[in-house]
Amino acid sequence: MEPIFELPSGSPLSAAVSEEWSLIPLRVPPGWNVIYNTLMACRLADGRIEVNDSEDLYWARTTPPPWFTAEELAESDDLRAREFNLDIGWYGAYGFRVVLLDPGWDDIRASHNTFDVDDLVAVTERWMRMVSQGKTPE
């Protein structure tokens, strides 16, 4: 199988990938539960990076802050009190697709396609951080 990506040699992500298949490092902010993660990569002998290319790579869901009561959750306009889902998959001609759901599959808040692994990580971390701060991507 041919590797899907070649990361730039100066890429921080490139430095974090080893010869063994391992999870791509992500900074997951408080308030997110990672339900499923197979977002993995390995460095090939020639230095190129191979990345898992499944449609089901990553799924994380928010949990409301513990200081919210059930009544406050029901009445709150604070986005941190809502459930968001973040899903990542690989879709051939479209590359990686990151989707922020509010709360389910019929409620797409934001979507981003990319072939660039560094961009994938940056968007994923930025969107999770924004939601943790009570904001959403436009």
Q: What is the domain partition of the chain in residue ranges?
A: 27-39+55-132
The three-state (H, E, C) secondary structure of the chain, written as one string? CCCCECCCCCCHHHHHCCCCCEECCCCCCCCEEEEEECCEEEECCCCCEEECCCCCCEEEEECCCCCCCHHHHHHCCCHHHCCCEEEEEECHHHCEEEEEECCCCCCEEEEEEECCHHHHHHHHHHHHHHHHCCCCCC
- From first to last of the 138 residues of the chain, give the pLDDT tens digit: 444 555 566 666 667 778 899 999 899 998 899 999 999 988 888 878 888 888 999 999 998 777 777 777 677 777 766 889 999 999 988 999 999 998 788 999 999 999 988 899 999 999 999 998 889 997
pTM equals 0.82
